[in-house]
Every structure is written in structure tokens, then in C-alpha cells.
Amino acid sequence: SAVISQKPSRDICQRGTSLTIQCQVDSQVTMMFWYRQQPGQSLTLIATANQGSEATYESGFVIDKFPISRPNLTFSTLTVSNMSPEDSSIYLCSVESDRGYYNEQFFGPGTRLTVL
Amino acid sequence: GQQVMQIPQYQHVQEGEDFTTYCNSSTTLSNIQWYKQRPGGHPVFLIQLVKSGEVKKQKRLTFQFGEAKKNSSLHITATQTTDVGTYFCAGLPWGAGNMLTFGGGTRLMVKP
């Protein structure tokens, strides 16, 4: 299994500012995923990040609002830009297992964001 | 687009009672995965089902994948307080690459 850390674990931000969330994995992985989980809700995929290429965004999410970097095989960042209270959520990164037959995902501990 | 529905949304049970959550996909799935998220925690992988009609057991947990590979269930026998959390199914549709679609989750509360 992969061990994933995220920074910050939580933050309270003002409307209109931006926050960059970091995700570090203890092994090299091809694909990293960024999810949003609003309070009491399910997980919604924001984008998939491959090293060396632009992230692929899901419907409803755009690069200008959620720019993603993937500089190497163990690290990624997600920026939440020009924040509004509607962006208050938990943001989780995950990676896919490299066990071949199994492709379960391992999640980081999440970043709890509150926008005032 | 792909939708994965999960019922019930919430379930309160007395410790020792059984619990079942159901998952239905609008399209045929390549596989289905189940995750558990404890309060304040992050989702943790429980199991993956791939074959039509597959049944897998993990101690008190029984997972089933429907014959048409569009539905699944998780059954917990004799619940314990440690079973508290939200259970998510996540489907991988055919041709979707690696992108899982998560169900809405079932939040299980167990009264001691």
C-alpha cells in the first residue's frame, strides 16, 4: 500500500484568496487523483494528474479554478483559486494501487478547507 | 453520464443487528470497489469485485456483485460499534480508464 501525506491538514481562508494543497506519496506512482468531499457528501473527482502532462479535469471543474501541478512521480499540488464559501470542503488526493489485477485507491488524510 | 446510487443514505442499528447497503449503477461496470470512511477519517479500501455474481467475505462482511455487473451489496452480520462509519461503493465503468464513480455512501450508526 502507499502512504500519502497532505499539507495543510486544515485551513481557514478569506474569500478571494487562493490555497495550494500539497500531496506527497512514499513511492512513485503514475496517476494521482484529486477529489472534493463536501460535508456529509460523497467524493467527487476533480481531476486526474499524470506526471509530465496536463491534468484531465472532470465536468464542472476547470483549470483556472483548480490548477494542478505534477512535477514528479511522488508529488502533486492542487490550488483552489479565488475562493468563495462554496469551496469549503475536504480535498483529498489519492493514488491507484500498482497491484495489476487490483486497482484500489489509497487516499491521503485530506485537507479541510473553510472559506469565510 | 455514469451514475452510482446507494441506499439507504443512513442506517441506525442496535449493536448485534445486521446491516446491508445496496449499490446500483446506471451502466455495466468493469469492477466495483467498497470503501469505509470512519468519522473524521479518509476512505479506506475494503474490497474489489470483478466477476459477475462474485461473492467475497471478510469476517462479518459479505460483498456481492450482481449477475449483470450493475449492482452490488455489502452485508454486515452482527454489527459492532467499530463498524460505525460511512460505506461507499465505487464503480469502474467499462472504458472509463481508471476513473471511479463513487456512490453517495451509507452512513452506519451503531447503538451499543
Q: Test B42 with A110 for CB contact under 8 angstroms.
A: yes
The pLDDT of residue B93? 83
How far apart, in whole angstroms, are the C-alpha atoms of residue A53 and residue B61? 40
Give the pLDDT confidence of B86-109 residue by residue, as tens digits.
999 999 887 766 688 999 999 999
Q: Which residues contact A64 (CB under 8 A, 6 or more apart)?
A: A81
Q: Test A110 with B99 for CB contact under 8 angstroms.
A: no
Mean pLDDT of chain A: 93
Residue B40 pLDDT class (50, 70, 90 cuts) = very high
When computed from its CA atoms, the radius of gyration of chain A, rounded to whole angstroms, is 14
Q: Evaluate if residue B69 carries a pLDDT over 80.
A: yes
Residue A104 with chain B: CB contacts under 8 Å = 33, 45, 48
Residue A30 pLDDT class (50, 70, 90 cuts) = confident
Q: Test A108 with B98 for CB contact under 8 angstroms.
A: no
Sheet holding B71-76, edge to edge: B4-7, B19-25, B71-76, B61-65, B55-58
Q: Test B88 with A106 for CB contact under 8 angstroms.
A: no
Residue A25 pLDDT class (50, 70, 90 cuts) = very high
Which residues sit opposite A77 in a β-bridge? A22, A69
How far apart, in whole angstroms, are the C-alpha atoms of residue A28 and residue A31? 9
Query: Helix (H, G, I), strand (E, B), or coil: what is residue A27?
Result: coil
Average pLDDT over residues A43-55: 90
B40, burial (CB in 10 Å: exposed 0-12, middle 13-18, buried 19+): exposed
- B95 or A14: which carries more pLDDT confidence? A14
The pLDDT of residue A50? 86
Q: Test A96 with B98 for CB contact under 8 angstroms.
A: yes
Average pLDDT over residues B28-51: 95
The pLDDT of residue A102? 65
B93 to chain A, minimum CA–CA distance in Å? Answer: 13
The pLDDT of residue A97? 78
Q: Evaluate if residue A99 carries a pLDDT over 70.
A: no
Residue A92 pLDDT class (50, 70, 90 cuts) = very high
The pLDDT of residue A101? 63
How far apart, in whole angstroms, are the C-alpha atoms of residue B4 and residue A16? 34
The pLDDT of residue B96? 66
Residue of chain B minimizing CA distance to A95: B98
Confirm or reject contact between A108 and chain B (CB < 8 A): yes
